[in-house]
Structure 1
Amino acid sequence: MAQAAAQGVKPEQALAFIGLGLMQKMAGSGQDLPWIWSEAEDGGQADLAALRQRLELTQLALKTGAPLTTAEVSQLLGVRPTSEAVERGGLKARRLSRNVWKLSRLDDTDNRSDDAFRRRF
């Protein structure tokens, strides 16, 4: 380390080079490296463009209050609604009639009253 400092390399940089060399040797030996991120373990790659579009469409549905079909609610919530009202991710989809839904936000006051109810009984 003292030689590295004398040659203009900081001790932290020298330690990083040593660690990098060790990782390369281990990878070259064919060992399975548990600290390397694997897409298969994490559920694959995220489609961020589709996520952004889904979030923007959800915001638009909340702002306008437009009626939605079951397929549209399924796409926005990420789950097919199976009952009269479905809650997921701070949103509530309520069935108005056959294949007609309204999307709204869950109010914090509703959640608090539910929690208070649960605590009392």
Structure 2
Amino acid sequence: MSRYFTDEHEWIDVDGDIATIGITDYAQEQLGDIVFVELPAEGTTFDKGDDAAVVESVKAASDVYAPISGEVIETNGALEDEPALANSDPEEDGWFFKLRITDAGELEGLMTEAAYKTFVAAL
């Protein structure tokens, strides 16, 4: 499995043609206590960069973007019951949704973990 990152602070794990997407630890720290997560419906298709989900915290609401194009095949229902999972475990159990990838070539524009750490350090 390969993990990539976006400059909008999403992470994406790729396993074959399935991508699991969530927000990074940095993103959840900036948002503060997350109180609500709106996830996309299964079967929804996104182009890279589309608004895919919404996260609301005590500080602000923020969009989560689709890092690549694909069709939603699963959402993390646990986040609807316990949105704070996005704070406590943002890069594992706090994942948002899974996509069936339609254009694997789009992965080339994403950052590796090392590149993302350098990006965040410069913010």
Taking structure 1 as the reference length, what is the TM-score of the superposition? 0.22
**Higher relative CO (CA 8 A, sep ≥ 6), structure 1 or 2?**
2
Based on CA coordinates, which of the two structures has the bigger radius of gyration? 1
Name the structure with the higher helix share: 1
Name the structure with the higher strand share: 2
